Amino acid sequence: MESNNKRIYLSSPHMTGNEHKYINQSFETNWIAPLGPNVDRFEEDLSQYVGAKGALAVSSGTAAIHLALRLLNVQAGDKVFCSSLTFVASASPILYQQAEPVFIDSEFDTWNMSPEALKRAFMDAEKEGNLPKAVIVVHLYGQNAKMDEIMEICNFYQVPVIEDAAESLGTTYKGRKSGTTGKFGVYSFNGNKIITTSGGGMLVSNDKVALVKGKFLASQARDNKPYYQHSELGYNYRMSNILAGIGIAQLAVIEDRVKQKQAVFQRYVQELNNIKEFVFMPEYQGTGHNRWLTTLFIDSNQLSFTPFELVQELEKENIEARLVWKPMHLQPLLNKFKYYQHSNQISVSSYLFERGLCLPSGTNMTEEEQSRVIEAILSFVSRRKSRHFIGI
Ligand SMILES: *Cc1c(COP(=O)(O)O)cnc(C)c1O
């Protein structure tokens, strides 16, 4: 029993074997620095893949979001609208700038930013004469937000959009790649993302001038002088040439990874379809969902179990599952900021947090391992239901 109880992770790094080639090249040529041929090539490959005019490789997705805010001149006291249902890294760079986040709820079609709530937030901001400097739209768990509707509103108010596509590399939206509709797009290569460099990020844009400025800010903002002169505040945010080598090999298989993630999702849907309370995250019309993580919520007025109980049960079997992100407007760090819910009746992000669950979705998870997850869920749910039924 012990032998087949190996831990199953939510989404663990999945190497191809070719990473060594590029890592070795950086050693052989002594490009052990936050610049070099691997960095250049990784930027080139990624911008080509997503169809953006340029890309800037950085040390993390969080750094890329921070740079985007700097490039949009977000300063102390400025407002920035941001999706509430997300990981904290979407929002913390707003605080780095001492700007003021305003959180926007989700809607049920995509679990992402609600255009209705966004519109209300804009109408209020306009009345106050204090429009946001930027809007950060998150594409959660690989699902693209309703960009047409969101862009229409943001374009009307002439406010630029940053797409937090940290989780949606490989997702398509109406024929284009996720992260390429707004002014800036951000990807993450953290260890659990669909591809990884162990840690890293990328900022993409069609504005190449802005990316040149971004590179300047990411490399300590050194003036063009023969000595070290600095007129602006910069950061040390560049990506290592060694890690970029990992990225080149990883990006070469992104389409395979998307297919594998989708297959994992399909199998969960098929084999868990008897659990009527499970509502899987939908795939929005006109999109190709990368299914980074298979996510669902439990839809029942008489819940016989909570998502947390299921997470704990899976943990007993050495299986890592996770609750849906706790929304930003409910975070102790951020709950003093304004929040616009989807409608008077419902806060969708809060609902999804209370009922949502992410299942292990690694592309290197074997069929047997996924069977273990499925069996553990089925067994727990049937035990709970019978208990519920007889009223214990
Ligand atoms: C992972 C993630 C980030 C941050 O990326 P890092 O590379 O870990 O800094 C930002 N936003 C979302 C939605 C993420 O999932």
Is 10 a domain residue? no
Tell me, yes or no, whether 14 lies in a domain.
no
CB 106 within 8 A of CB 83: yes
Enter the tokens of residue 224: 């063009």
227 and 270 assigned to the same domain: no
Tokens standing for residue 87: 């990981």
Per-residue pLDDT in tens (0 to 9) along the chain, 392 residues: 445 689 999 999 999 999 999 999 999 999 999 999 999 999 999 999 999 999 999 999 999 999 999 999 999 999 999 999 999 999 999 999 999 999 999 999 999 999 999 999 999 999 999 999 999 999 999 999 999 999 999 999 999 999 999 999 999 999 999 999 999 999 999 999 999 999 999 999 999 999 999 999 999 999 999 999 999 999 999 999 999 999 999 999 999 999 999 999 999 999 999 998 999 999 999 999 999 999 999 987 766 889 999 999 999 999 999 999 999 999 999 999 999 999 999 999 999 999 999 999 999 999 999 999 999 999 999 998 776 666 55
| Claim to verify: residue 228 and residue 318 sit in the same structural domain | no
Residue 386 C-alpha to ligand 1 middle, in angstroms? 40
Same domain, 179 and 305: no
- Output the pLDDT for position 4: 66
* Three-class SS state of 287: strand
Same domain, yes or no, for 24 and 68?
yes
Please check whether residue 241 is in contact with residue 27, taking contact to mean a CB–CB distance below 8 angstroms: no
Asked whether 62 lines ligand 1 (CB < 6 A), one says: yes
Which domain-ending residue is among 193, 221, 251? 251
pLDDT in tens, 110-153: 999 999 999 999 999 999 999 999 999 999 999 999 999 999 99
Q: Which domain CATH number covers 384? A: 3.90.1150.10
Of the three residues 216, 232, 251, the one that is the final residue of a domain is: 251
Cα 191 to ligand 1 centre (Å): 10
Chain center to CA of 63? 14
DSSP letters, 4-66, are T---B-SS-----S-HHHHHHHHHHTT--SS-SHHHHHHHHHHHHHHT-SEEEEES-HHHHHH
Q: Tell me, what DSSP letter sits at residue 326?
A: P
The answer, yes or no, to whether any atom of ligand 1 lies below 6 A from the CB of 90, is: yes
pLDDT in the model for residue 385: 77
* DSSP assignment of 341-363: -SSSS--HHHHHHHHEEEE---T
The answer to whether 227 and 256 are in contact (CB under 8 A) is: no
Domain range enclosing 46: 19-251
Following CA atoms 239, 242, 248, 249 in sequence, which dihedral angle do they give, to the nearest 10 degrees?
A: -140
Q: Taking the CA of residue 50 as centre, how many other CA atoms within 13 Å lie in the half-sphere pointing to its CB?
A: 31
What pLDDT is stored for residue 2 in this prediction?
47
Rounded-to-integer distance, Cα 90 and Cα 385, Å? 38
Going from the Cα of 391 to the center of ligand 1, the distance in angstroms, rounded, reads 43
Residues 225 and 264 in one domain: no
